[in-house]
Amino acid sequence: MLTLIKNSAANLRGHKLRLVIAFIWIIIGITSVVFVSAMGNAMSSMFKSTFKSLAPNTAVIYYENKSYDSNSSTALIQPFVKSDLQIIQAIEGVEKVEVHNKPLTIAPGTRDDAFYGDAKYFDKSTSLAVIDPSDTKYKIIKGRAISESDEGSRVAVIPDQAAKDLFDEESPIGKGIELNKVVYQIVGVSDSKKIYDATEKKFRDRTNFDSAEYYTVVPKTSFLFLSGKLAQSNDVQNIKVTVNDGENLKAVTDKVIESLNTLHPNLSNGEYKVHDQSSIQKATQAMTKGIDKFVRIITIISMVVGGVGIMNIMYVSVMERGKEIGIRRALGAKPRTILFQFLVESVFITSVGGVMGVIVGYAITMYSRNYLPIKPVPSFNSFLYSFIAIVLTGIIFGLVPAYKASKLDPIKIIYK
């Protein structure tokens, strides 16, 4: 065996250019595998840590409206009240229940005293900026304006552009729109083409230099509630339920919804629903599996490409060393000896190239951490698997040329 290794080393030293090309081929393949594996590790860790922070034993219960007319029960009756929390807290399996009022988001780059969200009417929706009546003046073209007597009520004045988006040509007065899971009754429509000029103290047409935002006006208390600034509000948009460890989340939330339906029997135009982390968990697991599959595919492709390169190089070596093989066979060398020699050369090339590829891959991975938003995470397992894979590739793809070399007819080769 030692003689085979010495003969293989001597032959490889005599073909340095071919050896360098083989090393380059292998190094590129292994480097790509190491780097992609490190990126896959980073993304998998990110998804798993994100899911762990989402409290898997917690669910948010909300009410989904199916009717938005002012004469419907959902427009005037609250689906949640604060007294519900005490009753839900007493349900077996519930560890904690709390109000979960999510404020509308503030759009970046826009005014910080307006809150932006989607207004819904059945399957239609449009983006709106919500302000309170004291913020600016607006021109009413249908219905009425917001007055002091509206404080505490769920009423709104929407711009005519939004009314057209949601109701087409139908009159919006008296109908309800959903803002942040709460239904507001429309009492007026404003002219979105007019803007109040504080200097001239009158309304004028908008110009290209004026803000293109169209504001929805709600009472001051509703504005503070939507913005999350009214902490003592009696309005409850959603509730968040945390169950005890070991309890079945779905079973407990089913009991909560059953209790809410009993507490609010008049809410017949909608239904209570549950948002938990199960869908996020499934998505996280699917994404993690997808990343693993992607890494495996890249590994297989890299190994096949490297293997084809090794096989081609070994085929060329067999063709060039035909006479040498013939002479050795004529002097008594067995086919098995010829086979092992070419296999040893193939494994040597892939082993050395694999080690160099792991080193280069690790260096590139660590260097890239300074420039990538997601920091690659190299692992010993990825190095080990990459090295084993490339050695096996050398054996598998080197076997065909080695077998061909062992089966050459020495007489034909010598006199060819």
391 found inside a domain: yes
pLDDT digits (tens, 9 = 90+) for 44-63: 887 777 666 566 688 888 88
Domain boundary among 224, 248, 276: 276
- Number of domains within the chain: 2
Instruction: Mark whether 182 and 119 lie in a shared domain.
Output: yes
Instruction: Mark whether 374 and 232 lie in a shared domain.
Output: no
Q: Which residues contact residue 319 at a Cβ distance below 8 angstroms, ignoring those fewer than 6 apart? A: none
Instruction: Mark whether 252 and 290 lie in a shared domain.
Output: no
158 found inside a domain: yes
Per-residue pLDDT, 359: 92
Cβ 237 vs Cβ 90: under 8 Å = no
Does position 1 have pLDDT exceeding 60, yes or no?
Answer: no
Range of the domain at 355: 2-50+281-414
Per-residue pLDDT, 135: 55
Strand 239-243 to strand 94-99: parallel, antiparallel, or no bridges (unpaired)?
Answer: antiparallel
120: helix, strand or coil: strand
Instruction: Mark whether 222 and 156 lie in a shared domain.
Output: yes
Cβ 186 vs Cβ 156: under 8 Å = yes
pLDDT digits (tens, 9 = 90+) for 254-264: 999 999 988 88
Partners of 131 in the beta sheet? Answer: 217
Helix axes 16-52 and 335-368, enclosed angle (nearest 10)? 50
Instruction: Mark whether 201 and 345 lie in a shared domain.
Output: no
Instruction: Mark whether 326 and 370 lie in a shared domain.
Output: yes
Does position 107 have pLDDT exceeding 60, yes or no?
Answer: no
252 found inside a domain: yes
Cβ 239 vs Cβ 97: under 8 Å = yes
Instruction: Mark whether 7 and 154 lie in a shared domain.
Output: no
Which of 105-114, 130-139, 216-225, 227-236 bottoms out in mean pLDDT, i.e. has the lowest? Answer: 105-114
Partners of 125 in the beta sheet? Answer: 120
- Pick the closest to residue 140 from 192, 65, 84 (CA basis): 192
